[in-house]
Structure 1
Amino acid sequence: MKNAGELLISKITSFISSLTPIAVEEVKTSLSQILKDFHVEKVEIDEKHPDLEEKISLFLTSKTLEGLSKGTVKGYKQELDLYANVIKKRVKDVTSSDIRLYLASLQNVKMSTMGKKLSVLKSFFGWLASEEIIDRDPTKKIKTPKTEKLLPKALKIEELEMLRESCKTVRQRAFIEVLYASGTRLSEIHQLNIDDINMQSMSTTVVGKGSKERSVFLSFKALYHLKKYLKQRKDDCEALFVTERKPYRRISKRAIQDEVKKVAKAAGLSHKVTPHVLRHTFATLTLNNGAELVAIQELLGHSSADTTLRYARITEDRKREQHKKYLVI
């Protein structure tokens, strides 16, 4: 069986001979002389380059220490593992061409997904460059693909009412009202406990992206349905929302999504309704009702006002009303 060096010589010789006639044995002898001062090791198909594995591990550890959520770090790891399965090189040897080759190898991938994958690679190699582990960032010259900017989906007021009226259980109604009134992310609601809710001020503190805390608020309607749900519970679990069956425990994020989906189906809403759609609805309806952009930015936990601006899409009636109200004549 050929060792790694012999295999490499055979492959190089075969490649050269496909381009031009050569004396095969002479070329092999010459290549053997060149490679005798090098240690050649073959990377197996299912094996990642050890240097790349090590640097990915360091990167993920750094991001964890920076306070990124477990979900974000896990997402980084998944994307970087996929990359490491294709490009088997030491990080300092990776070129822009390698990155393009990897992206080109992705089959049937949407441009938005391609952009997300490139974003992870830019974050990884940018970190390596900033830590002076590599001399240059091979992703720096690669532009993020342009994608169509889709507006966040939001329910109309009548659709929100249809959702409310289609709730079959007290718990479903509590889900809908709390998610909508607070404008929170699914992960933020999922981790709340009963004691976190201040019934007097109708508020709570949630931990958002980057482990940042912020205050969010409930409406009278949301508080009413939440109290109704808590009053009919027969368990001693600390979680704000729990499973319907014993042993009672904190409900999973997937289960909350499924409950919202059931309500939307019962309401006959054709488009997809998720906890995040309720967050979009909170932002859109409150902005349309005259709320200040900076206030909504704080309530949503956005670090940039540009992110919040995506929700600032008002109806034609609202545009007409604002034109009449503020036009100087």
Structure 2
Amino acid sequence: TFLRDITEWGWDAAPPRKVLFRDDIPKLPQVLPRYLPIDADRRLTAALTEHPDNELAALALRLQRACGLRIGELLDLELDCVHELDGNGAWLKVPLGKLATERMVPLDPETLEVIDRVTQIRSHGRPLPHPRYRRPAQFLFTYLGRRLTQQGVRRELDHATEVAGLGHVTSHQLRHTYATALVNAGVSLQALMALLGHQSAEMSLRYGRLFDHTVRTEYERALDLAKQNTTAPAAGDTGGRTQLPLTAITGGRDWKDAPLLKSRMAGGFCLRAPAQGACSYANICEHCPSYRSEPSSLPILAAQRVDADALARDAEQRGWIDEAERHQKLIARLDALIADTETQTG
């Protein structure tokens, strides 16, 4: 930049030709956001909730995780940061932060309870000067007449990670975890930008690259082709292929005990390798609002519920928390279907 400037200024020391080219500038590393895996996120939240060392700092970290705030935005929150909008619920007004922009983040009842608890235990005192505006302000996180510091939040996070049995975690990873959860839930790019306070789509697209659906689709397609190559010719079949025998897949054990992702359907079951991930269509019919059952289906639904309960316990023992939750949701849906059918038939 300096060399270009002295050329524009007409200095005698300006080089007679261009000396720096695009390829001369080293490319910056494109590092993906470091988010917490689901199990680690749950353990950390449990430690902050059940075993806090500094309750105010623990609540601050829970609020940061629930709203995806930067640490500076979190500590600059003022006492009147919650706004109730008619017909649109409660929203958190995030103050000017790193990019000098304000934004509104929707709040759920659980996060509102966190903020209510903060207002109960915070120190009440005189207004303190705002670091950006220099005007007196009542901050949300005040302790013994002073504002909660980043060092205080850091100490509480270290304590919680030790209780949860985790390695080193930074407070900014809570923001990454919030964004990653939104991407997994299918939030749009525009909504993600608004919730995170990003000014460019490129900033938000970093999270999209974590879970590229195209990569996943191509992977599953290739895996299906690889499975086809491992099947054996059927008796009397000259060119077609058939599925491997069930004993070859389960190792001779009962299918409910196999180390695979398992789904129980009314008319059978599904087995998937852990590398394939859970099937997005598993038990889709049972959860459909148009699904109906009749008295003759009650024994089938009851048997399906028994197997789903066994699969949930199996998934928990293997540490597959998402799988266990999926089976629990199916159990709850089956209970509702069975109850509705019994009520209709008296």
What's the TM-score once normalised by structure 1's chain length?
Answer: 0.51
3-state SS, counterpart of residue 209 of structure 1: coil
Q: Could you tell me the percent identity over the aligned residues?
A: 27
3-state DSSP class of the match of 1:216? strand
Q: Corresponding residue for 1:252? A: 149
Contact 1:155 1:281 in 2 (8 A): yes
Cα pair 2:58 2:156 within 8 Å, conserved = no
Deviations 1:168-227 (A, max 9, x none): 143244222210121111111121111223266232132123422222233322221221
Aligned partner of 1:151 in structure 2 is 32
**Equivalent residue, structure 2, for 1:194:** 79
Q: Is the 8 A contact 1:242 1:249 kept in 2?
A: yes
Are the structure 2 counterparts of residues 147 and 234 from structure 1 closer, same or farther at C-alpha, using a change threshold of 3 Å? closer
Total equivalences in the alignment:
197
CA contact (8 A) 1:163 1:267 kept: yes
1:203 counterpart letter in structure 2? L
Please give the alpha-carbon distance, in whole angstroms, between the structure 2 residues aligned to 1:175 and 1:268: 20
Structure 2: 5+ residue stretches without partners: 127-137, 221-276, 282-346
More strand by share: 2
Corresponding residue to 2:62 among 177, 180, 191 = 177
Q: Give the structure 2 partner of residue 220 of structure 1.
A: 109
1:202·1:223 contact (CA, 8 Å) conserved in 2?
Answer: no
Q: Confirm whether residue 297 of structure 1 aligns to residue 193 of structure 2.
A: yes
Please say if residues 172 and 263 of structure 1, whose CA atoms lie closer than 8 Å, have aligned partners that are also in contact: no
Give the whole-Å Cα distance in 2 for the aligned partners of 1:223 and 1:134.
61
Letter in 2 for 1:258: R
Instruction: In structure 1, give the amino acid aligned to 2:202.
Output: D
Cα pair 1:207 1:213 within 8 Å, conserved? yes
Mark the runs of 5 or more structure 1 residues left unpaired by the alignment.
Answer: 1-121
Indicate the SS of the match to 2:195.
Answer: helix
SS at match of 1:278: helix
Residue by residue over 1:106-135, the C-alpha shift from the partner in whole angstroms, topping out at 9 and shown as x without a partner, is xxxxxxxxxxxxxxxx5xx49x83995576
- Tell me the TM-score normalised to structure 2 length: 0.49
Please state how far the C-alpha of 1:318 moved relative to its aligned partner. 7.8
Q: Match of 2:21?
A: 141
> Please, what is the CA RMSD of the aligned residues?
3.5
Contact 1:204/1:217 (CA < 8 Å) preserved in 2? no
Report the 3-state secondary structure (helix = DSSP H, G, I; strand = E; otherwise coil) of the residue aligned with 1:310: helix
Equivalent in the alignment of 2:295? none
Q: CA deviation at 1:154?
A: 0.5
* Structure 2 Cα separation of the partners of residues 194 and 131 of structure 1: 53
In structure 2, which of residues 138, 161, 165 is the aligned counterpart of residue 264 of structure 1? 161
2-side partners of 1:170 and 1:280: how far apart?
Answer: 23
